[in-house]
Amino acid sequence: MSMSYGNTTVCVKSAVVVRSRRVPQWRAQSIAQQKSKSNQTAQILLSEFRQASATPLHRLRQVSDDMTAEMHAGLLSEGGSQQLKMLPTYVEHLPTGDEEGLFYAVDLGGTNFRVLRVQLGGKEKRIMNQEYQEVAIPPELMLGTSKELFDFIAKTLADFVATEGEGFDAHSGHIRELGFAFSFPVLQTSVKSGIVIHWTKGFKIDDAVGKDIVAAFEEAIGRKGDHIRVAALVNDTVGTLARGRFWNEDTMLGVILGTGTNACYVEQADAVSKWRDPPPKSGEMIINLEWGNFRSPHLPRTFADEEVDVESVNPGDQWFEKMVGGMYLGEIVRRVLAKIAQEAGLFGGSSSPKLFEPFSLSTPYVSKMHSDESAELTEVAKILEDVFEIQSTTFQERKIVHDVCDILAERGARLAAAGIVGILKKIGRDGSTTNGSQGLKNSNGKTVVAMDGGLYEHYAQFRSYMQAAIEEMLSETAAKSVVLELSKDGSGIGTALLAASHSQYGTVF
């Protein structure tokens, strides 16, 4: 083959050579100069952006100290913190592993919602069987009415319950029970009721705000035939904590890094000064921080964060979430690249309309580009072509893209780690105090942080940046005692486990 094409190749080559000889030398030089100048400008912009996003140790410490201070303020009185709601969750019983029976969960996150069932077999058998179904939320329902959203969810749930088959055993005479993971700020009024405070993550369903979310859901279930009851309304962080606790009693925190981000932890009831009701018998309370709305002045905010915030459906809210969460990471990367394209001619200037289209770059692409280890960054080239329709790129350009992904993943991961250290400090588990666990029950030296969410699960560099930052911030001994553990599907399974531990029929039959 090479022989038969040999001549042609030579011909083409010589033609190219001849043509390139015709370009006046002064022009060729000026194009080369221009390219190198634009590359220099791009490098300067990149290095400025790197600086603006930096999270050196002293800054992380300030961020985590601010987190601890806001936590204290939020526990003191209702509205005590402008940032952290510090919501008591009314979850009285974390699962122990003894739970038995068939339980369902609905997990309404941000991007997808899932319905699932688990068959629990007590201490020995634990989770005997599980099944789930994941459904994308039609975008129009995210901005519609409460009735439309819940009719859709109730229908999917009813269809799923109808497929219950072998390996699942509903107790005769009992109505099925369901845990509802609702991952938006809710003021709980009991373990199975709560009022929507506001929406986040691109949802905006105004008529649901100020109303009981469980009532809205149960009405929709009723319209489909009353086949199932909500036994527990939980935040997804609490589901994640519960899933962690089911397997490991040292679990003290639940953290979500998915579309958005949030955390909860086990607090001593007497530390919750704003609590007016009698304290729970366990002496402990699970507090949902709603840390997405954290906004320390030490957060390294950039022009891109400002833009993302201003153009969001909730400007001024959720600053931490907008710097860390998977919904926004790709968009921030895109905005930085668009700026370098405009100001330094990256990708030949503004050649691609897609590069200037909000949310055209999703976070899974960021992690794909970031994990490209090929010498020529071929995966980056492919994604730039697929997503932005940029046909040809230089290695230097691809390297800049790779660097921007790295800078922003590192920043998000280190900020999330600082948040976790802030909570550990609040409960005396960061190694900075000698009083250890401040009287919390399980103090055998380990503190497990149950982690869930697509960003954490699928983005390896994000995970390792987080781990490194935790180790950097804590003393060697404390760092050894803190374990970040993937609580896979924690928000869903953990929520079914909480339905079990709050079952109206008791946990063991």
Selected from 126, 171, 354, 458, the binder of ligand ADP by CB under 6 A is 458
CA distances from 47 to 50, 314, 400 (A): 5, 30, 10
Max Cα distance, the chain (Å) = 91
Q: Which does 454 bind (CB under 5 to 8 A by kind): ligand ADP, Mg ion, none?
A: ligand ADP
Q: Which residue is associated with the tokens 């503004």? A: 350
Q: How far apart are CA 421 and CA 272, in angstroms?
A: 20
Which residue of the set 183, 296, 360, 501 is catalytic?
183
Rounded to the nearest whole angstrom, what is the least distance from the CB of residue 485 to ligand ADP in the complex? 16
Q: Where are the alpha helices (DSSP H) in 427-489?
A: 454-458, 460-473, 476-481
- Considering only residues 87-146, where is the footprint of Mg ion by CB under 5 A? 109
Q: How far apart are CA 252 and CA 258, in angstroms?
A: 20
Identify the bridge partners of residue 488 per DSSP, sorted by sequence position: none
Rounded to the nearest whole angstrom, what is the least distance from the CB of residue 93 to ligand ADP in the complex? 24
Check residue 453 for interaction with ligand ADP (CB under 6 A).
yes
Question: Hey, what's the torsion of the CAs at 322, 323, 327, 333, to 10 degrees?
Answer: 130
Instruction: Say if residues 434 and 237 touch (Cβ distance below 8 Å).
Output: no
Check residue 327 for interaction with ligand ADP (CB under 6 A).
yes
Check residue 109 for interaction with ligand ADP (CB under 6 A).
yes
Q: Give the interface segment with ligand ADP, choosing from 21-29, 65-73, 362-370, 385-393 (CB under 6 A).
A: 362-370
The smaller minimum CB distance to Mg ion, of residues 181 and 484, is found at 181
Check residue 363 for interaction with ligand ADP (CB under 6 A).
yes
Check residue 369 for interaction with ligand ADP (CB under 6 A).
no
- By C-alpha distance, which of 448, 401, 412 is closest to 427? 448
Cβ-proximal residue to ligand ADP, closest one: 109
Tell me the residue type at 44: I
Question: What x-and-dash track marks residues 196-235 binding Mg ion by CB under 5 A?
Answer: ----------------------------------------
Q: Which does 351 bind (CB under 5 to 8 A by kind): ligand ADP, Mg ion, none?
A: none
Check residue 364 for interaction with ligand ADP (CB under 6 A).
yes
Q: How far apart are CA 244 and CA 383, in angstroms?
A: 36
Check residue 259 for interaction with ligand ADP (CB under 6 A).
yes
With a CB cutoff of 8 Å and minimum separation 6, the contacts of 501 are: 93, 94, 95, 96, 99, 232, 242, 507
Q: Give the interface segment with ligand ADP, choosing from 34-42, 94-102, 437-445, 448-456 (CB under 6 A).
A: 448-456
Q: Compute the chain's Rg from CA coordinates.
A: 26
Q: Which does 364 bind (CB under 5 to 8 A by kind): ligand ADP, Mg ion, none?
A: ligand ADP
Check residue 367 for interaction with ligand ADP (CB under 6 A).
yes
Rounded to the nearest whole angstrom, what is the least distance from the CB of residue 238 to Mg ion in the complex? 12
Instruction: Say if residues 300 and 64 touch (Cβ distance below 8 Å).
Output: no
**183 noted as active-site residue:** yes
Question: What x-and-dash track marks residues 42-81 binding ligand ADP by CB under 6 A?
Answer: ----------------------------------------
Element (H, E) at 121: strand 112-121
Q: How far apart are CA 334 and CA 355, in angstroms?
A: 7
Residues labelled as active-site residues: 114, 183, 236
Q: Which residues bind Mg ion (CB under 5 A)?
A: 109, 236, 258, 491
